[in-house]
Amino acid sequence: MREKSLKKGALLYKLKKHRCQEDGKNVGIILRKALMCDVKPLYNLFYEYSNAGDMLPRSMSDIYEHLRDFYIAENSGDIIGACALTIVWESLAEIRSLAVKRSHTGKLIGTELIKKCIDEAKFFKVTNIFALTYKPQFFQKSGFTVVDKSELPHKIWSDCINCVKFPDCDETAVMLKL
Protein backbone atom coordinates (compact mmCIF):
# COMPACT_ATOMS: atom_id res chain seq x y z
CA MET A 1 0.00 0.00 0.00
CA ARG A 2 2.80 2.38 1.01
CA GLU A 3 4.69 1.53 -2.20
CA LYS A 4 1.59 2.33 -4.26
CA SER A 5 1.30 5.72 -2.53
CA LEU A 6 4.92 6.57 -3.22
CA LYS A 7 4.52 5.71 -6.90
CA LYS A 8 1.52 8.00 -7.20
CA GLY A 9 3.41 10.76 -5.38
CA ALA A 10 6.37 10.43 -7.71
CA LEU A 11 4.02 10.70 -10.68
CA LEU A 12 2.60 13.96 -9.37
CA TYR A 13 6.02 15.53 -9.07
CA LYS A 14 7.21 14.32 -12.46
CA LEU A 15 6.42 17.61 -14.14
CA LYS A 16 6.40 20.94 -12.38
CA LYS A 17 5.67 23.94 -14.56
CA HIS A 18 4.68 27.41 -13.41
CA ARG A 19 2.49 28.20 -16.39
CA CYS A 20 -0.99 27.56 -17.71
CA GLN A 21 -1.31 24.81 -20.26
CA GLU A 22 -2.31 26.43 -23.52
CA ASP A 23 -1.42 23.79 -26.06
CA GLY A 24 -3.55 21.02 -24.53
CA LYS A 25 -0.66 18.55 -24.69
CA ASN A 26 -0.99 15.58 -22.37
CA VAL A 27 1.68 16.24 -19.75
CA GLY A 28 0.03 14.36 -16.87
CA ILE A 29 -0.67 15.83 -13.43
CA ILE A 30 1.42 18.75 -12.23
CA LEU A 31 1.38 20.75 -9.00
CA ARG A 32 2.15 24.45 -9.24
CA LYS A 33 1.35 27.84 -7.74
CA ALA A 34 -1.87 29.45 -8.95
CA LEU A 35 -1.96 31.98 -11.78
CA MET A 36 -4.49 34.60 -12.86
CA CYS A 37 -6.06 32.22 -15.39
CA ASP A 38 -6.93 29.81 -12.58
CA VAL A 39 -9.37 32.10 -10.75
CA LYS A 40 -12.53 31.16 -12.64
CA PRO A 41 -11.87 27.39 -12.65
CA LEU A 42 -11.11 27.64 -8.92
CA TYR A 43 -14.33 29.53 -8.30
CA ASN A 44 -16.28 26.83 -10.16
CA LEU A 45 -14.54 24.01 -8.27
CA PHE A 46 -15.34 25.55 -4.88
CA TYR A 47 -18.86 26.51 -5.97
CA GLU A 48 -19.76 22.92 -6.79
CA TYR A 49 -18.52 21.58 -3.46
CA SER A 50 -19.92 24.43 -1.38
CA ASN A 51 -23.34 23.89 -2.95
CA ALA A 52 -23.12 20.26 -1.83
CA GLY A 53 -22.23 21.43 1.71
CA ASP A 54 -18.73 19.90 1.60
CA MET A 55 -16.83 23.15 2.03
CA LEU A 56 -17.40 26.86 2.51
CA PRO A 57 -17.87 29.01 -0.59
CA ARG A 58 -15.27 31.56 -1.75
CA SER A 59 -16.14 34.65 -3.71
CA MET A 60 -14.26 35.56 -6.87
CA SER A 61 -12.79 38.66 -5.20
CA ASP A 62 -11.64 36.57 -2.24
CA ILE A 63 -9.86 34.17 -4.60
CA TYR A 64 -8.15 37.08 -6.41
CA GLU A 65 -7.03 38.58 -3.09
CA HIS A 66 -5.57 35.28 -1.90
CA LEU A 67 -4.37 33.97 -5.26
CA ARG A 68 -0.77 33.78 -4.05
CA ASP A 69 -1.86 31.36 -1.31
CA PHE A 70 -2.99 28.65 -3.71
CA TYR A 71 -1.39 25.52 -5.04
CA ILE A 72 -3.06 23.98 -8.07
CA ALA A 73 -3.20 20.43 -9.40
CA GLU A 74 -3.47 20.53 -13.17
CA ASN A 75 -4.09 17.71 -15.59
CA SER A 76 -3.43 18.55 -19.22
CA GLY A 77 -4.65 22.12 -18.78
CA ASP A 78 -7.62 21.27 -16.49
CA ILE A 79 -7.67 22.43 -12.89
CA ILE A 80 -8.42 19.25 -10.96
CA GLY A 81 -7.51 20.34 -7.42
CA ALA A 82 -6.47 23.20 -5.20
CA CYS A 83 -5.36 24.01 -1.69
CA ALA A 84 -4.38 27.30 -0.03
CA LEU A 85 -1.97 28.11 2.77
CA THR A 86 -2.78 31.42 4.45
CA ILE A 87 -0.46 32.89 7.06
CA VAL A 88 -2.62 34.21 9.89
CA TRP A 89 -0.37 34.99 12.84
CA GLU A 90 3.11 34.57 14.21
CA SER A 91 4.13 30.93 13.57
CA LEU A 92 0.59 30.04 12.51
CA ALA A 93 -0.90 29.31 9.11
CA GLU A 94 -4.21 27.91 7.94
CA ILE A 95 -4.95 25.40 5.21
CA ARG A 96 -8.04 26.55 3.36
CA SER A 97 -10.15 25.51 0.41
CA LEU A 98 -8.79 22.04 -0.22
CA ALA A 99 -10.70 20.49 -3.08
CA VAL A 100 -10.09 17.79 -5.68
CA LYS A 101 -12.46 17.29 -8.62
CA ARG A 102 -14.73 14.31 -8.09
CA SER A 103 -13.40 12.69 -11.27
CA HIS A 104 -9.88 12.65 -9.75
CA THR A 105 -10.42 11.78 -6.09
CA GLY A 106 -8.66 8.78 -4.58
CA LYS A 107 -5.39 9.41 -6.46
CA LEU A 108 -3.58 11.09 -3.54
CA ILE A 109 -3.90 14.50 -5.15
CA GLY A 110 -5.40 15.99 -1.97
CA THR A 111 -2.54 14.51 0.06
CA GLU A 112 0.08 15.92 -2.33
CA LEU A 113 -1.52 19.37 -2.22
CA ILE A 114 -1.39 19.30 1.58
CA LYS A 115 2.28 18.30 1.40
CA LYS A 116 3.01 21.30 -0.82
CA CYS A 117 1.37 23.60 1.73
CA ILE A 118 3.33 21.98 4.56
CA ASP A 119 6.60 22.51 2.65
CA GLU A 120 5.70 26.14 2.06
CA ALA A 121 4.86 26.60 5.73
CA LYS A 122 8.28 25.18 6.67
CA PHE A 123 9.91 27.58 4.19
CA PHE A 124 8.25 30.50 5.99
CA LYS A 125 9.29 29.08 9.41
CA VAL A 126 5.66 28.54 10.37
CA THR A 127 5.48 26.10 13.29
CA ASN A 128 1.75 25.32 13.44
CA ILE A 129 -0.74 24.69 10.68
CA PHE A 130 -4.44 24.37 11.37
CA ALA A 131 -7.56 23.80 9.33
CA LEU A 132 -11.26 24.08 9.99
CA THR A 133 -12.80 21.19 8.13
CA TYR A 134 -15.74 18.86 7.62
CA LYS A 135 -13.26 16.05 6.85
CA PRO A 136 -11.03 15.73 9.94
CA GLN A 137 -10.27 12.06 9.13
CA PHE A 138 -8.72 13.11 5.84
CA PHE A 139 -6.40 15.58 7.60
CA GLN A 140 -5.53 12.98 10.25
CA LYS A 141 -4.09 10.82 7.45
CA SER A 142 -1.58 13.65 6.86
CA GLY A 143 -0.56 13.85 10.52
CA PHE A 144 -3.01 16.48 11.81
CA THR A 145 -4.72 15.98 15.15
CA VAL A 146 -8.15 17.17 16.20
CA VAL A 147 -7.97 20.09 18.65
CA ASP A 148 -10.53 22.08 20.56
CA LYS A 149 -11.43 25.27 18.69
CA SER A 150 -10.69 27.23 21.85
CA GLU A 151 -6.98 26.36 21.33
CA LEU A 152 -6.90 28.56 18.22
CA PRO A 153 -5.92 32.19 18.73
CA HIS A 154 -8.67 34.83 18.77
CA LYS A 155 -7.21 36.41 15.66
CA ILE A 156 -8.55 33.67 13.40
CA TRP A 157 -12.16 34.34 14.37
CA SER A 158 -12.02 37.86 12.94
CA ASP A 159 -11.88 36.26 9.48
CA CYS A 160 -14.95 34.21 10.33
CA ILE A 161 -17.24 37.23 10.57
CA ASN A 162 -17.77 37.08 6.80
CA CYS A 163 -18.52 33.36 6.87
CA VAL A 164 -22.04 32.27 5.93
CA LYS A 165 -22.08 29.99 9.01
CA PHE A 166 -21.01 32.69 11.50
CA PRO A 167 -21.43 32.43 14.50
CA ASP A 168 -22.47 28.74 14.35
CA CYS A 169 -19.25 27.16 13.13
CA ASP A 170 -19.86 23.44 12.58
CA GLU A 171 -16.37 22.60 11.31
CA THR A 172 -13.76 20.63 13.25
CA ALA A 173 -10.37 22.19 14.06
CA VAL A 174 -7.28 20.14 13.20
CA MET A 175 -3.67 21.10 13.89
CA LEU A 176 -0.23 19.98 12.72
CA LYS A 177 2.88 20.97 14.67
CA LEU A 178 5.92 21.21 12.39
Contact pick of 105, 124, 153, 159 for ligand COA (by CB under 6 A): 105
| Distance linking the first and last C-alpha atoms of the chain | 25
Contact pick of 29, 30, 41, 49 for ligand COA (by CB under 6 A): 49
Q: Which of 18, 1, 154 is nearest to 89 (CA)?
A: 154
Q: What is the crossing angle of helices 109-123 and 2-12, to 10°?
A: 70
DSSP character for 142? T
Q: By C-beta, is 92 or 174 nearer to ligand COA?
A: 174
Sole window of 12-20, 58-66, 107-115, 143-151 interacting with ligand COA (rule: CB under 6 A): 107-115
Interaction of residue 110 with ligand COA, rule CB under 6 A: yes
Burial class for 117, CB neighbours closer than 10 Å (0-12, 13-18, 19+): buried
Alpha carbons within 13 A on the beta-carbon side of 60: 7
Interaction of residue 100 with ligand COA, rule CB under 6 A: yes
Contact pick of 133, 144, 152, 173 for ligand COA (by CB under 6 A): 133
Residues at the site binding ligand COA, with contacts judged by CB under 6 A: 49, 54-55, 98-100, 105-111, 133-135, 137-138, 141
